[in-house]
Structure 1
Amino acid sequence: MIADYSPRYEDLQPHLNSRQKIRIERRRPANPHLNGYLVGLSPRLGMMHCFNDFQPDGYTIFYLDDIEDIRSNEYERHWDHMLVAEGVLQGLDTVPNVNLRSMATALTSSTQAVDMLVVECEDFDRDIQDFYIGKLVSVEGKVVEFDNFDALGSWDEKTHRIELNEITLVQLETDYLKRFSRYVTGVPASQRDTASQSNQ
């Protein structure tokens, strides 16, 4: 069970909105590294504006208890210098307003800022994960309802029910998410009854 207060909270506080890049090593083999800028922090959760080399790659919400190490040294300062020179840090000034008090509030507030999310349930020991991409429907107690679309851009037949405590990572506005969502067709499962009634 994840504690209410992570010892990594104090380690990360100096990096919050510092506009200095950090590298986070995580205990989750499916996503072992996060590279970028810390733009949100609570005693349990953090949010980073991530980068894939020189490419901005949206925002990632993660649990502090999954952190193994935090690096911020001469390598990161050199990357700061290059990313400033390349003019690719605009995302630091347009951070979505996400409530990081809990994973439930992070999810619900994220959907007020963006239309689509990636939700991941990562294994602790192996490089496997349950990966969902699409629209949050609701957060009710300990269960998240989510409309997922598949690799062909089609909405799944049913809305997925995900245990809230199994979610370990949430992504917003990644390049993959933005590009893929342009080519999704059809109506999400949770909206089909409403859509069919309106056509009658």
Structure 2
Amino acid sequence: MRKSNKERSESMRQSLMDAARKLFVERGYAETTTPDIVASAGVTRGALYHHFEDKKALLRAVIEREAAEVSASIELHSRVPGNARATILEGTRAYFDAMAYPGRTRLLLLDGPAVLGIEAMRTIDEQTAEASLSAGLKDLLSEAGNGGKAEMLAMLLSAAFDRAALAIEAGADRQQCEAAITALIDGLTA
């Protein structure tokens, strides 16, 4: 069965994103050129610029996809009905599992903020993993009678999660990082 133009277009877009992701992880954003990306994807530069304004827009698309995958993993693995604390702790493990995917920490926590800027990354975070954390914190803090602080606490805890992911990537003990996050979460309701 032949693909429609829309399917072919989306397939080419995904191929460009896959090729760019691979090169961004291997070389870094700054050292990856658009000719490298199109050669790796097996397409023309015209195809690249048909789908993306520039290399930065391509990086943003890659990062948005990565962030969505992390968020989906958290959602899939963190539902503990009736127990907000357990849900957040399962989400913590799911986050660290998702961030262990090769290259993800570099893309989401190093190159993304450096290239796209903090505000763009905050927007992406608010729409993905941080949204899950915020919802979980609202449930947890509501149980403790203090749900009004959930959004600000989610932003701050999200930063702690990111620092822990960077530390784990650099060789820190994951169990110790998870224990520290657990202590932070438990401190919110103490």
Normalising by structure 2, what TM-score? Answer: 0.27
The structure with the largest alpha-carbon Rg is 2
Normalising by structure 1, what TM-score? Answer: 0.26
User: Which structure's residues are more often strand, by fraction?
Assistant: 1
